[in-house]
Amino acid sequence: MASFPLVVFDLDGTLADTAPDLIATLNVILGREGLPPVPVEGANELIGAGARALVERGFEAGQRELAPAKSDALYRDFLAHYAENLCNESRLFPGVVEALDTLAAQGFRFAVCTNKIEAHSRRLLDALGVSTRFAAICGRDTFAYFKPDPRHLTLTIEQAGGDPARSIMVGDSITDIATAKAAAIPVVGVTFGYTDRPVRELEPDVAIDAYEELPGAVAAIASRW
């Protein structure tokens, strides 16, 4: 058994508010295709399943069909543009650093399990000044599996040197919560992220409205170990 407990975080909508930069890149792609831009306000439900799904949802919002071959090309275009613009306006959610400090002092280690590609995830977390806090940063392309496949989470835990029996997931969407449940990992849902359904309706083990509540939520779950 690992000598430390592990908290695994989703990235977009969980650790950081990345919607402004994701939607800005999406709107560049949509504009090239003659489609109207998507407003950042209310676009949260478009985000959470990765860049390819974001492009597809942008086309759905513009009521235009997107052929698979075109989807592949636009996905590559999205990644290229986003790589140069991934931290223009993105910010950590309030209280993230303080929550990490509190949990680290209690012996917890951390990892990231996200459907953002790994290179972008590492660059973003580096730009936000927190990349060194994570024992593993695993993206959509790190393994042969990605969320909601539970192996994305269990392999992230393995890469971080953790133990599934002493791990907790933190996420903002049905993708995160379904992944954690499929892996039999307890999950904390944050209510301020990117989801088309209220997080409490998705029935995480605990729901929190701010990062100040995370250490208490983690302690409540860990007390059952």
Active site residues: 10
CA torsion 86-62-48-52 (nearest 10°) is -70
Surface-to-core class of residue 184, CB atoms within 10 Å of its CB (0-12 exposed, 13-18 middle, 19+ buried): exposed
Give the pair of three-digit tokens for residue 221.
């779950």
* Geometric angle at alpha carbon 33, from 31 and 36, rounded to 5°: 45
Q: How many CA atoms lie within 13 A of 105 on its CB side?
A: 7
Give the pair of three-digit tokens for residue 139.
């993206």
Helices (H), 84-167: 96-105, 118-127, 150-159
